[in-house]
Amino acid sequence: MRHLTVVDHPLVQHKLTLLRMKQTPTAEFRRLVNEIALLLAYEITRDLPLEEVPIETPLMPARSKVLAGKKVCIVSILRAGDGLLEGMLDLIPSARVGHIGLYRDPVTLQPVDYYYKVPQDIAERPVIVVDPMLATANSAARAIARLKESGARDIKFACLLAAPEGLARMKEAHPDVPVFTASLDDGLDDHGYILPGLGDAGDRLFGTK
């Protein structure tokens, strides 16, 4: 599988433009994130395994396909990752949900997890890690390393925007984890914000600015 997939569907690109605009209010921002998350989930789940089961239609017995294996687990990187959950769960309602909270150690500057809750059998599930902004990728790389420590092997990463710096870091740290994004942006500013970006995703989602 490709390491990077830019979901360039016209609906995604249109909604993303509205999302970037600074005058977009919180309620509208949330709604757009939900819609884009659903469309990202559609692309990410394209290769889920299927199996045939016997069914009866109103006309005759038949064989038809259903999803095989354990249910997907979506893992949100707190707090902005939670913004992508609702839209994804609209499409995959039976998905399990995990959470990882990270902070930056003031001495080592490395991300440390302060909260970690995922299903015990995460090793047997396809995992989609979600965080809207892949900027430096420090949090994403650490979260994925933690999931691998728990045995997870089938991991994908979903974001709204990715910076080339973050993408390079992910490729180096986790070449086996494909990244799905609605846009590959230009780069990072001195504070680690994605340019042109959409600002602080958590603040815009939760109205905390």
- Catalytic sites, residue numbers: 104, 108, 200, 203
Q: Name the minimum Å distance from CB 74 to ligand URA.
A: 19
Element (H, E) at 101: strand 96-104
Cβ closer to ligand URA: 126 or 197? 197
- Residues 132, 159: contact at Cβ < 8 Å? yes
Name the one range near ligand URA by CB under 6 A: 37-45, 51-59, 138-146, 193-201.
Answer: 193-201
* Helix orientation angle between 164-173 and 138-149, rounded to the nearest 10 degrees: 20
Q: Name the minimum Å distance from CB 32 to ligand URA.
A: 15
Sign of the torsion formed by the C-alpha atoms of 203, 79, 40 and 160:
positive
The span from the CA of 147 to the CA of 119, in Å, is 11
Determine whether the annotation assigns residue 40 to a binding site. Answer: no
Tokens representing 8 are 């360039």
* Helix orientation angle between 26-44 and 10-20, rounded to the nearest 10 degrees: 150
Q: Name the minimum Å distance from CB 125 to ligand URA.
A: 27
Q: Name the minimum Å distance from CB 161 to ligand URA.
A: 7
Owner of token pair 């884009």: 36
Cβ closer to ligand URA: 72 or 161? 161
Residues in the interface with ligand URA (CB under 6 A) total 10
The counts of H helices and E strands in the chain are 6, 12
Residue from 33, 77, 95, 135 in contact with ligand URA (CB under 6 A): 135
Site for ligand URA, residues 3 to 22, rule: CB under 6 A: none
Query: Is residue 197 a contact residue for ligand URA (CB under 6 A)?
Result: yes
Lay out the site mask for ligand URA across 59-98 (x = CB under 6 A, - = otherwise): ---------------------x------------------
Tokens representing 128 are 């989609």
Query: Is residue 202 a contact residue for ligand URA (CB under 6 A)?
Result: yes
Judge if the upstream peptide bond of residue 164 is cis by omega within 30 degrees of 0.
Answer: no
Phi, psi (degrees; rounded to nearest 5) at 103? -130, 165
Determine whether the annotation assigns residue 60 to a binding site. Answer: no
Positions that interact with ligand URA (CB under 6 A): 80, 133, 135, 192-194, 197, 200-202
